[in-house]
Each structure stands twice: as C-alpha cells, then as structure tokens.
Amino acid sequence: MAAFFAQGPCRLRPHFKAHKTPEIARRQLAAGSCTGLTCATVGEAEVAAAFCDDLLIANEVVTAAKCARVSALAAHVHVTAAVDSLAGLDALSSAARAAGTRVGVLVDLNVGQGRCGVEPGEAALTLATRAAQSEGIELRGVMGYEGHLQPVRDRAERESRTREAMQWLVRTAALIRNSGLPCPVVSAGGTGTYDISGRVEGITEIQAGSYALMDTDYGSVGVPFEPAFWVLGTVVSRPTRDRCVADCGHKSMTKDHGYPAVRGIPGAVVTSLNDEHATISLPPESTVKIGDLVELLPSHVDPTINLHDVFYVVERDEVVDIWPIAGRGYPDQRAAILS
C-alpha cells in the first residue's frame, strides 16, 4: 500500500480503527507515503496521539464531553474531525473556544453510501462557509466515504461507480475554493477502492484500513493483500466423521460478513457459530482430532479484533511478541488489566 502511494500525489492515511493496535500503526507510518492516521473514535485518537501528530477523526463528534476531549488533543497534535451539521460544528467550536485550541474540520459529504454526510454542492458549501466563520475551527476541506462501493465484486463496475462518486467530492471542493474558502484536503477511500479513488485527480488522501491484516470478505474483492491474522481455536469435540467443533464462536469472531474460513484443512467449512463454539464440517477422511488447533480467518477484520485485548505475534509458529489492542477504549482499565 505504501508503495502504491509513493507513486502519485495522493497520500495514505491508514485507518487505525481496523486494528486499533499502536504497534501495527507505527509500522504503517514507518512504511511511508502517509500523511497521518485516520481514527473512528475519540478514544482511538487519544491512543494514536502518543505516536502520530496528524489525526483525522473521520466521524461526527457531537457531545460536549467528546468535543472537549478533541479540543484538548488539539493542544498537542494536528486534529481534524468530520462535520455534517451546524449542531456538530457549534459543539466543536464551543469546546475549542473553551480549551483555547483550534480544531480542524472536514465537511462530510454523502457520496452515495447514505450514512452520514451533507449532500454535495450547495449544502456542503453552506456548512463550509459556517465552519470558516466559526471561532476555534479551521476549515481544512471535505471528505466522503464510498463505503457502499468497497465490496462491489465486479472490478469494472467498482471503478466506474467510484470515479463517479469521487466527482461529487472533487466538484464540491472546487465550489468551496471558488467561493474563496480554503479546501486543501479531499479525503476518501478504503481497501476496496484505494487504487481507484487514489488516482482520481483532486483526491488528496485515502483512509484505507483493512488492507494491513485483511479478512475473507476483502479477500474475495480482488485486492493484492494477504491475510495476516486469524483466530486460534482448539478442537473440543469430533462427534462424527464429518464434523468437529472448536472452542471459539461469536465471542471470538463476528459473522456480519459471513462465517470465518478454515485455514490449512482442505475441505473444512464452518457451518455455524454459537457463543463459544464453531461447528466445522469435515471431509470424512479428515484426521482432525480432539486437542488439535484450528486457525480461523475472520470475515470482517475490524469488529473481530475489537473483541480481543492483544495480538499474539507469530513467526514460524513461535510467539515472538504480544501487542496490546490499545485503541479499544477504556485505556486506564485495560492498562491495569495488562500490567
């Protein structure tokens, strides 16, 4: 990913939410081509501020308490948050004024996902104008996440729809600049569209995250990244020749993007998950037995990692390190548990 972004004007802003793990984020930044990190939550930004001085919270932050935390961070690092409402803008502005800091904002546009975001064009310009006039706020640009296009399997369709979505962003950025306001940042993209959005003229940074560790869902989209993590379970039952059960279920992996895949056992397929069980169908000749370890490749990286406290880092079957998943939240409570 770093090599791809070394070749164009667009930069990479890896999304910390995918793994919430400082050791991985440090490696992503060290690999180069980065302009900072993307975060989804204020808590992630607080953790990331210890090792990165340019953070984008690519999400709306609206409560007084969270805006105060963002404003406090702005005293130490360059911090930018997404806004899509006057209410959100006013909340950030009040908090920044109270803290005596300046918080950057990107006007969040709906580029087709239908989640957060104002409509491109005049509505975005109105909010950008208000942002430029708000005390404690620095208008830094626009963002728009084409999340609905990340999983489009057909490459040609993904390309054409992504380019179209990016035009909404680029044109709105031009509208803002033509009205005399600054709009240096145009932020978008994810693992499924990084090489499409990242080559659209006018897009300045890409917020991809899953690429670093991958999951089976992105594995079927045809992006050139390999899975780097899995959940390790133990076979606790082999009740029939064509079935075994491992001791890891919903509490270890999510299935919102489908069941996990089984690594290294030909013909093995997860057929159901319960709280503490993964039921796996096996070819009858399989030699899998009680006590064996099974490696399960999750279908969705972010929420699966969010279920765990640490990564066990493995080189050639040996655990060589343990990395805290420190961005999950409640850092003080977690530090106490891990110490």
Ligand X SMILES: Cc1ncc(COP(=O)(O)O)c(C=O)c1O
Out of 48, 58, 67, 244, point to the residue binding ligand X (CB under 6 A).
Answer: 58
Q: Which is nearer to ligand X, 15 or 78 (CB)?
A: 15
Out of 102, 147, 236, 329, point to the residue binding ligand X (CB under 6 A).
Answer: 147
41 makes contact with ligand X (CB under 6 A): no
DSSP state of 149: G
Site size with ligand X, rule: CB under 6 A: 12
Q: Which is nearer to ligand X, 22 or 233 (CB)?
A: 22
Interaction pattern, residues 154-173, with ligand X; x per rule: CB under 6 A? --------------------
Q: Are strands 11-12 and 269-273 parallel, antiparallel or unpaired?
A: unpaired
The residues near 46 (Cβ < 8 Å, ≥ 6 apart) are 69, 73, 331
Rounded to 5 degrees, what are φ and ψ at 56?
-110, 120
210 makes contact with ligand X (CB under 6 A): yes
Sign of the CA dihedral running 263, 265, 267, 268: negative
Q: Which is nearer to ligand X, 29 or 208 (CB)?
A: 208
Rg (CA), the chain: 22
Half-sphere exposure of 71 (CA within 13 A, CB side): 24
Nearest residue (beta carbon) to ligand X:
190
The residues near 99 (Cβ < 8 Å, ≥ 6 apart) are 68, 71, 72, 74, 75, 136
Q: Which is nearer to ligand X, 55 or 235 (CB)?
A: 55
Interaction pattern, residues 190-209, with ligand X; x per rule: CB under 6 A? xx---------------xxx
Residues that bind ligand X (CB under 6 A): 15, 18, 58, 145, 147, 150, 190-191, 207-210
